[in-house]
Amino acid sequence: MQTELSTRLGIEHALFGFTPFPAVAAAITRAGGFGVLGAVRYTAPDELQRDLDWMEQHTDGKPYGLDVVMPAKKVEGVTEADVEAMIPEGHRQFVAQTLAKHGVPELDEGEASGWRITGWMEEVARSQLDVAFDYPIKLLANALGSPPADVIARAHEHGVLVAALAGSARHARKHADAGIDIVVAQGYEAGGHTGEIASMVLTPDAVEAVAPLPVLAAGGIGSGAQAAAALALGAQGVWTGSIWLTTTEADLHSRALTEKLLAAGSGDTVRSRALTGKPARQLRTEWTDAWDDPAGPGTLPMPLQGLLVAEAVSRIQKYEIDPLLGTPVGQIVGRMNTERSVQQVVDDLTAGFERAVDRLNRIVGRDQ
């Protein structure tokens, strides 16, 4: 799986893996792919520093990247407390009622909420970048589109390529015009924030919209056949995320959640605003149902919803409250039925890719 982009980055397979776990990101890179560490969960710069140190020690000098969540537009002087104050009391009550209904215990006194949304705030993302540019990262990806112009310039000064997620050809073009290097075209079937256009249509649309800039296809990709499909559509590589959640190197801090992912079918996800206020695909649970119920108060806009539910999500995860327990994940969850090592996932995917190409050669009437 060699494309212009994989050659440029010096990786063996045009396979990019996004993950919040350093152990997974490093293993993807060691296996010949390109590991991208998600930074949204780091609120203190020294936590990120510690994990990037670890990445350095475990990637054999091979390239890896960082994924931040940074809005292109800056909102001046707004603190987390200001945002907290904008949350209506009725919504707080709805959270409390929904948790009480399922008997979800409180966190221990003084215990910090493990699931936090503060990484979404620009000042936090910027403090992460101050740390990250001290490391030899090769790619900076932004989950909320183009980063601000000064961040793109700073990345380029450090020889770091900039990637931005897009859900439509128009967004992809906008990101390209902002000066980014790679578009990640994230289809409807993807886990996390996603638009309504499916990968089969979005990938070629994005490729055409930003050519000759490279596009990575995201959404619905976990097997070699799916990678072959994405590359047939013109992508220069695949951007995967969900598939790594059930690898043996991943640590979801909840056996119950891992089991839920292994058992879920492709129809068991929902695109809901419950987690962040923007539509994000995740496991469908009684928690997402409560927020998506027309009889409920509905969700708040980003970043209010994320702040509103952060503690609740931490409690649900800590106490593994099964009917409410979920996570962002794509429709590919239906194929995540066994725990494999990262190396095994990479081996299966690259072997499946070759089989798919063999199959197409037979269909087109060529012998190999």
As given in the structure block, the two tokens for residue 185 are 């075209």
State in angstroms the smallest separation of the CB of 68 from a second copy: 26
Residues interacting with a second copy, by CB under 8 A? Answer: 1-3, 14, 168-170, 187-189, 195-202, 204-205, 219-221, 223, 225-226, 228-234, 265-267, 294, 330-332, 334-335, 353-354, 356-357, 359-361, 363-366, 368
**Cα distance between residue 2 and residue 137, in whole Å:** 21
| Alpha-carbon Rg for the chain in angstroms | 20
State in angstroms the smallest separation of the CB of 209 from a second copy: 11
Q: Which is nearer to a second copy, 14 or 139 (CB)?
A: 14
State in angstroms the smallest separation of the CB of 363 from a second copy: 6
State in angstroms the smallest separation of the CB of 32 from a second copy: 13
Q: Which is nearer to a second copy, 66 or 346 (CB)?
A: 346
Contact 14, 21 (CB under 8 A): no
State in angstroms the smallest separation of the CB of 271 from a second copy: 9
Contact 30, 62 (CB under 8 A): yes
The continuous run of DSSP H or E covering 157 comes out as helix 149-157
If you ran DSSP here, which 8-state letter would residue 368 be given?
A: -
State in angstroms the smallest separation of the CB of 54 from a second copy: 32
Q: Which is nearer to a second copy, 106 or 196 (CB)?
A: 196
The torsion angles phi and psi of 300, rounded to 5 degrees, stand at -95, 160
Contact 64, 52 (CB under 8 A): no
Helix axes 45-57, 22-30, angle to 10 degrees: 30
Write the single-letter amino acid at 94: F
Burial of 365 (0-12, 13-18, 19+ CB in 10 A): exposed
State in angstroms the smallest separation of the CB of 362 from a second copy: 8
Q: Which is nearer to a second copy, 134 or 208 (CB)?
A: 208
Q: Which is nearer to a second copy, 85 or 295 (CB)?
A: 295
The torsion angles phi and psi of 215, rounded to 5 degrees, stand at -115, 135
Q: How many degrees, rounded to 5, is the angle at CA 344 between CA 339 and CA 348? A: 105
State in angstroms the smallest separation of the CB of 80 from a second copy: 33
- Among residues 287, 327, 331, the alpha carbon closest in space to that of 115 is found at 327
Q: Which is nearer to a second copy, 105 or 298 (CB)?
A: 298
**Cα distance between residue 51 and residue 38, in whole Å:** 11
**Cα distance between residue 292 and residue 170, in whole Å:** 28
Q: Which is nearer to a second copy, 223 or 258 (CB)?
A: 223
Q: Which is nearer to a second copy, 151 or 227 (CB)?
A: 227
